[in-house]
Amino acid sequence: MEERLQKVLAKAGLGSRRQMEEWIREGRVEVDGKRAELGQKVSENQRIRVDGRRIHLKPSGGAIPEVIVYHKPLGEVCSRDDPEGRPTVFHNLPRPRQGRWISVGRLDINTSGLLLFTTDGELAHRLMHPSREIEREYAVRLLGEVDMPMLERLVEGVELEDGVARFAAIEESGGSGANRWFHVILKEGRNREVRRLWESQGVRVSRLTRVRYGPVILERKLRKGKSRPLLAEEMKRLYEAAGMEVPVIVAPVPEQRRRQAARRPSRGGARKRR
């Protein structure tokens, strides 16, 4: 059966589908000795090379995809190799059984928290695609005065340089005066979007941590710089959130106690935790 080239390469674990599309545009991919074209369909018996290296496609039903959650500390970048020599998130990851790790989204160097990595390029593509509206939840410490009209504007939407952006939910979570904590939810992954939204209202983010991506929550016991594989039930929920068939469920896993996600404020307001 033939499939689009970028999807085949993503399924082979080379990267997300979006990244594979960029490689094809850049001329890094060849099919049967000819430069590949974006959208080209290929089959498993064709000769595919990336940067001159032959890619051996696995027939469907091969290795089981892997997904891990990583607790990113401050100071690490999300690229595989940094020209400035800064530590990268990939240095602390375990070696996958097959393929290579693909990052599901990114966090900037000054943001800590949950990162997902997978060997399934199609899963990564779907989890990051705006059409899926996968929720990302962040804990934010702010410097500056925050009032109800400001929260309402941030939920209704404000104009940024790359278009209108908004929080799907805001919940106050502690602090007082000009140093307060909030939990916020986004349904997209634009560059520095959380920081830019707050800065548009004249307040500054002094600490930012991602605590949830879709159904996967950052556990307190997962230390910074450490990772763990997803449990079978977590894998099931993640694939369902991506609208994909679950590859395998190894065994039933007792439901873990999950921290309640931020509630959506009525009429754009914020609800204070009790």
- Buried b / exposed e along 45-73 (16+ C-beta atoms within 10 A): eeebebeeeeeebeeeeeeebbbbbbbbe
For the chain, the domains span 3-55, 67-129+219-241, 131-214+259-272
Closest CA to 157 of 191, 128, 200, 124: 200
The answer to whether residue 108 is catalytic is yes
Active site residue: 32, 82, 108, 162, which one? 108
Q: What is the mean pLDDT of the chain?
A: 86
Counts for the chain of helices (H) and strands (E), in that order: 6, 18
Locate 40 and state its tokens. Answer: 């080209």
Model pLDDT, residue 266: 45
Tokens for 69, please give them.
Answer: 């959650």
Of 118-132, 166-180, 217-231, 250-264, give the lowest mean pLDDT range: 250-264
**Residue partners of 129: CB distance under 8 A and separation at least 6:** none
Confidence at 43, pLDDT banded by 50, 70, 90: confident
For 207-227, how does the pLDDT look when each residue is reduced to its tens digit (9 = 90+)?
Answer: 999 999 999 999 999 999 999
For 46-82, the pLDDT digits (tens) are: 889 888 888 766 554 556 889 999 999 999 999 988 8
User: What sections of the chain are H helices per DSSP?
Assistant: 5-11, 17-25, 121-128, 148-156, 193-199, 232-241
Fold of 3-55: 3.10.290
Residues in CB range of 91: below 8 A, 6 or more apart: none
CATH architecture label of 67-129+219-241 = 2-Layer Sandwich (3.30)
What is the number of other CB atoms lying within 10 angstroms of the CB of residue 238?
A: 24
Q: Give the model's pLDDT for residue 179.
A: 80
Residue 21 has pLDDT above 80, yes or no: yes
Q: What pLDDT digit, counting tens, does each position of 97-149 carry? A: 888 899 999 999 999 999 999 998 889 989 999 889 999 999 999 998 899 99
* Domains 3-55 and 67-129+219-241 belong to one CATH topology: no
Question: Residue 168 class from Cβ within 10 Å (0-12 exposed, 13-18 middle, 19+ buried)?
Answer: middle
Q: Which CATH class is domain 131-214+259-272?
A: alpha beta
The pLDDT of residue 189: 87
pLDDT band for 175, please (50, 70, 90 cuts).
confident
Query: Would you say the pTM of this structure is higher than 0.75?
Result: no
Distance CA 119, CA 259 (A): 27
What pLDDT score was predicted for residue 267?
Answer: 45
pLDDT exceeding 70 applies to what percent of the chain? Answer: 86
Q: What is the CA radius of gyration of the chain?
A: 20
